Each structure stands twice: as structure tokens, then as C-alpha cells.
Amino acid sequence: MKIKNYCALLLVLVLGFTSCKKDDDNGSTFVERDRTEQQVADRDSLLGYFETHYYNSSMFETPGDYSISDIEISELPMDENGNYLEMPDPENNTMLSDPGVIEVHTTTFADVEYEYYILRLNQGGGDAPNFCDDVRVNYVGNMQDGDIFDSTVNPDDFDMINLIPGWRRVLPQFNTASSFVINGDGTVAYSDYGLGVMFVPSGLGFYSSPPFGVTSYSNLIFKFALYQTEINDHDEDGVPTYLEDIDNDDDIFDEDTDEDDIPNYLDIDDDGDGVLTIYEDIDNDGDPTNDDTDGDGTPNYLDADSTESNQDED
């Protein structure tokens, strides 16, 4: 799936190495658009989209386990001169621009403040994933013109570390299914799962380096159903990956306590003191984050001058 393959690329973008590159075939130089200016354009474009599109709101007035195929977002009809007409069937449809329909959220990515938008159709009754956990979802992704560029047929599993930033902002704001049943044919029926639509500006999507089928600087729209989640510990050091985000900025690539060029979430010795992080769980409760032998407020696994190990002999 196209949303899965951009972890390394996005890290490069954050570090700012893609602003210019040489085209070996014709000697031209590609200059990436300014992110701040592009966000303004993306915001205006998405707000304009909301003014001209509506969804089948009556479908979701009665609680139920709806699918992404039940979500219909349509453009207003036009007259022969290209002028927009009134929304059809107002008893069953609602404009996306109506007050309270679309949630507006802000986040900072690559030193730029972005707005992104959510149509929340069901919150879900299970657990909420962290931004770096595994998730099981169904989704359809399209651009503003309606062209579908990616989708799932059956629920698929993703590590959100490998997804575009927009997904890592939106999915943690929903909950998974409250329950599920395995049917006789091996399929799974989920109940009360997160269901919605995310509207992602290009800077939280593929930006200037999209996959085939997506144009550069395209805003993205994803219908999604969130079924299950599982907490990740990528380096298996006893510290869940989401807790390796020490500064709580939803970015685990910028934490490198011992400055060895290995981010903490992949570093089995976070503080570089020669004692593996998993062995700095002194009380053996399975949580290295609550051990602070010298009482200085820094847990042992991040404190290079605390070298006690649960492997030490008494």
C-alpha cells in the first residue's frame, strides 16, 4: 500500500535534505516549495472543498457498524454555466462546511504549523492507538478531485511509524473496536470501531515526493475504519516506543540520548552507559522507566551515570 513506504523519505524531509536536487538528465534543479506558503494554499483549498461538498449524514444518525463504503461525499451540482446549485435532499445530506461537522486540528511538523481536518462518524469503544503503534484498518484514499489512489479490500495491518504524518496525528484520536467475533468462514466481524474521514494537507502527506498516481503537493482524503491496535516496542528494550518520545512531540526520530545516531526507539542502550536498557529495570517489574537509583529525576535507562543492572549478583 502506498501510504506504507515513506518512513525513510519523511525522515529525510524533516532533516531538510530534499529542498534541492539535481536532475542528471537535463541539468535542471528542482526547488521544493516553501512549506509555510504551501500550507496556506492547502488550507484554502481544503476549506473551499468543504464549501462545495456534502455527505450522507442521515446514514449515521442511527448507531451501527457502518463501513467505509457507506460514507458518500459528493460535490454540489452545477448549472450549465458552472455555478454551484443548492445541496440536494437536505433532510438526508449535510454540507461539510456546516458548523460542527468538520473538526479542525493543528500540529507542528518540519517546523511548520499545519491544520488538518476530521469528519468523525464513530469514536469507537476500544483502545486508542499511540502514534507509533500497529493498527488494523480499512481505508480508501483519494485526492480532492475524487481520484482514488489507494485502498484496502480487507482489513490490513500497518506500523504507523511507516505511515504519512497525517495518519499518525489522526488515528490516535479514535478508538478501536469494542469487540469482535471470528465467523465460521474465518472472517472477523468488528463492533463499535472508529470510523471517519481525514482531510490531510500535502505537508502531512507525500508533499513533493508522492507515489505513482498522486500529484505533488496534493491534499489527501482518507475514509477509514480503525479495528485493532497493538503497542510497539521496536527495539524490544522494555520501553514501549511511544514512551521513547521524551519531548512528547509525536516524533520519535529526534530522540537520541547518547548521541550515537541511533534514535532511542531503535537503541537497545539508550544512554550509552554499557548497560542494556532492558537490564536497567532494577525492580524487574517490566518497566525500565520507573527506576531512578540516584534519585535525580532521570530514569536509569536515560542516565549514563546510573549503571546498575538487574543482572548484577547480590
Q: What is the DSSP letter of 206?
A: T
pLDDT tens for each residue of 233-272: 999 999 999 999 999 999 999 999 999 999 999 999 999 9
**269 with 168, same domain?**
no
What is the per-residue DSSP string for 7-30? HHHHHHHHHTTTSEEE-TTT--EE
- pLDDT of 2 reads 62
**25 with 166, same domain?**
yes
Q: For residues 35-62, give the mean pLDDT.
A: 98
> In terms of residue numbers, what domain contains 295?
234-314
**Short-list 8, 15, 7, CA closest to 254:** 15
**76 with 173, same domain?**
yes
**280 with 212, same domain?**
no
- Cα angle 284, 289, 293; round to 5: 75
CB 170 within 8 A of CB 118: yes
Name the domain boundary from 203, 230, 257: 230
Name the domain boundary from 180, 198, 230: 230
- Cα angle 294, 297, 299; round to 5: 75
pLDDT tens for each residue of 77-91: 999 999 999 999 999
Q: What is the mean pLDDT of the chain?
A: 92
**222 with 239, same domain?**
no
Name the domain boundary from 175, 199, 230: 230
Q: What is the DSSP letter of 78?
A: B
**201 with 252, same domain?**
no
**221 with 265, same domain?**
no
**190 with 142, same domain?**
yes
- pLDDT of 6 reads 52
Q: For residues 274-292, give the mean pLDDT.
A: 95
Number of structural domains in the chain: 2
Please compute Rg for the chain using Cα positions. 23
